[in-house]
Amino acid sequence: MVNREETYMRIIKLAARAYASWNKFIESLFPEPPNPLEQKIYTLNPPKEPDLATMIQELKNTGHQDLVEKILSRPPKVLVGFLYDLSEPGELIYDTYGYTFQKAQECPNITVEDFSTDALTVNDIIAREKPDKIIIVTAKRRQRPPGIYTAQTTLQATQENPAEMLRASLEGSLDIDALLDALRVLAPGRIISIIEYEPPEDATQGLKEQLIQVINRILQEECQK
């Protein structure tokens, strides 16, 4: 049997629910007017950021022409990588690497790195340095007359199996063709300048000065102090 106290509690709960429903109905008929300040804030258009050309012109107009020219004339970053093995031609490339590293200390826009590693590490170096130009110096026998050969290649994306393109470099090959094959997978679109030393069959000493001359010319052309 339900006692009187429980009956009162039910009546109170029903009354509370009825009041809440009625109150919501009344509020829907007479909504509060929007706050004018909030409406102004929400509809205010955000300030438009000036584009680069506008900012440059403003700097010029305020007498900062020299600063603008300095910013716009940033020297290109050049990354020179040396790829060599333990062969006699490789020793010449290694010696040239040491020479170039020392000479490039005078050029803040030139970085000299050892590329005698796997393609993943080389790609990490490229990603870290963010160069505008990449030059690789190496030795390669291609049945040419002995000498120094220069070339430029664009790393075209390939439809070949990526694992196969990476395999030789990741398995320890220090051959320029193996490195370029891997970089076609890792860094497609990059333009690579290549300096190849074609060694003679008997000795390398005769071409060391010629290779140094090529390096000096590159440093002279690219160095921005």
Q: Which domains are seen in the chain, by residue range?
A: 71-222 (3.40.50.1450)
* Single pTM value for the model: 0.68
Tokens representing 3?
């006692």
Tokens representing 140?
């390669």
Per-residue pLDDT of the chain (225 residues; tens, 9 = 90+): 445 555 545 555 555 565 556 556 556 655 555 555 444 444 444 455 556 577 767 777 877 677 666 666 678 999 999 999 999 899 999 999 999 999 999 999 999 999 999 999 999 999 999 999 999 999 999 999 999 999 999 999 888 899 999 999 999 999 999 999 999 999 999 999 999 999 988 755 568 889 999 999 999 999 986
The single-letter DSSP state of residue 107 is -
**Cβ contact 82:211 at 8 Å:** no
Only one residue has tokens 């403003």, namely 58
Distance of CA 89 to the CA centre of its chain: 32
Only one residue has tokens 């076609």, namely 184
Q: Choose among 204, 203, 174, 143: nearest CA to 81.
A: 174
